[in-house]
Amino acid sequence: MVEIRITGQRGEDPSAVEETDEKALPEGKKVISITQDDITEDRYHRLRLINWWNQKKLADSVVIIAGAGALGNEAIKNLALLGVGRLIICDFDGIETSNLTRSVLFRQHDVGRLKAEVARDRAVEMNPDTKAVAVHGDLRFALGYGLVRRAGIVLGCLDSLEARYYLNHHAMKTGAVYIDAGLDHLNGDVMTFKPTEGPCYECQMKSGEKKELKRRQSCLKLSREDIALGKVPTSPTISAIIAGMQSQIAVRHLHGRPIPTGRRLGLYGMTDLTFDIKLSEDPECMTHMYTDPLMEREIVELPRKASETTLDQILGDMKEKLGEPVVWSLDDDRDIITGLNCRDCEKGRELLSLAGVLAEKDALCDECGEVMVPTQISEFDGSEGLGDKTLKELGIPPLHILYGRNTETGDDAYFELSGDVDLYFGD
Ligand SMILES: [Zn+2]
Ligand SMILES: [Zn+2]
Ligand nearest to the CA of 344: 2
CA 270 to chain centre: 31
Q: Is 226 strand, coil or helix?
A: coil
First to last CA, the chain: 50
In the chain, count of helices (H) and strands (E)? 13, 18
Ligand 2 centre distance from Cα of residue 334 (Å):
26
Ligand nearest to the CA of 368: 2
Complete domains list, the chain, with CATH: 2-40 (no CATH), 55-290 (3.40.50.720), 297-425 (no CATH)
Q: 239 and 71 in contact (C-beta within 8 Å)?
A: yes
Ligand 1 centre distance from Cα of residue 320 (Å):
35
Q: What angle do CA 187, 241, 122 make, to 5 degrees?
A: 125
Ligand 2 centre distance from Cα of residue 211 (Å):
29
DSSP letter for 418, please: G
Q: 71 and 243 in contact (C-beta within 8 Å)?
A: yes
Q: 65 and 90 in contact (C-beta within 8 Å)?
A: yes
Mean pLDDT, residues 252-257: 98
pLDDT of residue 218: 59
Element (H, E) at 78: helix 70-81
Ligand 1 centre distance from Cα of residue 146 (Å):
21
Backbone φ and ψ of 56, nearest 5°: -65, -40
Element (H, E) at 376: strand 373-377
Task: Determine how many CB atoms are found less than 10 A away from the CB of residue 369.
Answer: 9
Q: Quick one: which of 292, 291, 322, 311 has its CA closest to 404?
A: 322
Task: Judge whether residue 383 has pLDDT over 80.
Answer: yes
Ligand 2 centre distance from Cα of residue 219 (Å):
18
Total-model pTM: 0.89
Ligand nearest to the CA of 195: 1
Task: Judge whether residue 372 has pLDDT over 60.
Answer: yes
pLDDT of residue 390: 97
Give the C-alpha separation, 178 to 170, whole Å: 9
Ligand nearest to the CA of 366: 2
Give the C-alpha separation, 50 to 43, whole Å: 14
Mean pLDDT, residues 326-350: 89
DSSP letter for 357, please: T
Task: Judge whether residue 82 has pLDDT over 90.
Answer: yes
pLDDT digits (tens, 9 = 90+) for 258-274: 999 999 999 999 999 99
Q: Which residues of 248-257 are buried (b: 16+ CB within 10 A; e: fewer)?
A: ebbbebbbee
Q: What angle do CA 213, 219, 223 make, to 5 degrees?
A: 60
pLDDT of residue 227: 46
Ligand 1 centre distance from Cα of residue 415 (Å):
25
Backbone φ and ψ of 344, nearest 5°: -85, -50
Instruction: Share the mean pLDDT of the chain.
Output: 91
Q: 269 and 184 in contact (C-beta within 8 Å)?
A: no
Contacts of 38 (CB under 8 A, 6+ apart): 10, 48, 49
Give the C-alpha separation, 71 to 171, whole Å: 19
Ligand nearest to the CA of 371: 2
Ligand 1 centre distance from Cα of residue 232 (Å):
25
pLDDT of residue 225: 59
Task: Judge whether residue 21 has pLDDT over 80.
Answer: no
How far apart, in Å, are the Cα atoms of 415 and each of 175, 279, 316, 383, 399? 17, 34, 12, 20, 10
Ligand 2 centre distance from Cα of residue 340 (Å):
11
pLDDT of residue 226: 53
Among 20-29, 115-124, 370-379, the range with the most confident prediction by mean pLDDT is 115-124
Mean pLDDT, residues 413-418: 98
pLDDT of residue 331: 80
> 283: pLDDT confidence band, cut at 50, 70 and 90?
very high
pLDDT digits (tens, 9 = 90+) for 209-231: 888 888 776 555 666 655 445 57
Task: Judge whether residue 232 has pLDDT over 90.
Answer: no
Task: Judge whether residue 233 has pLDDT over 80.
Answer: yes
DSSP letter for 390, please: B
Task: Judge whether residue 79 has pLDDT over 90.
Answer: yes
> 356: pLDDT confidence band, cut at 50, 70 and 90?
confident
Q: 138 and 92 in contact (C-beta within 8 Å)?
A: yes
Q: Is 134 strand, coil or helix?
A: strand
Ligand 2 centre distance from Cα of residue 352 (Å):
19
Q: What string of DSSP letters covers 381-405?
A: -STTS-TTSBTTTTTPPTT-EEEEE
Higher local confidence (pLDDT), 42 or 323: 323
The DSSP bridge partners found for residue 90 are 66, 135
Task: Determine how many CB atoms are found less than 10 A away from the CB of residue 211.
Answer: 11
DSSP letter for 263, please: E
Task: Judge whether residue 16 has pLDDT over 80.
Answer: no
pLDDT of residue 358: 83
Q: Considering only 14-18, 92-96, 374-378, 416-420, which range has the smallest mean pLDDT?
A: 14-18
Q: 192 and 277 in contact (C-beta within 8 Å)?
A: no
How far apart, in Å, are the Cα atoms of 85 and each of 74, 131, 254? 17, 6, 11
Ligand 1 centre distance from Cα of residue 399 (Å):
25
Ligand nearest to the CA of 369: 2
How far apart, in Å, are the Cα atoms of 411 and each of 135, 288, 294, 403? 34, 23, 15, 11
pLDDT of residue 335: 86
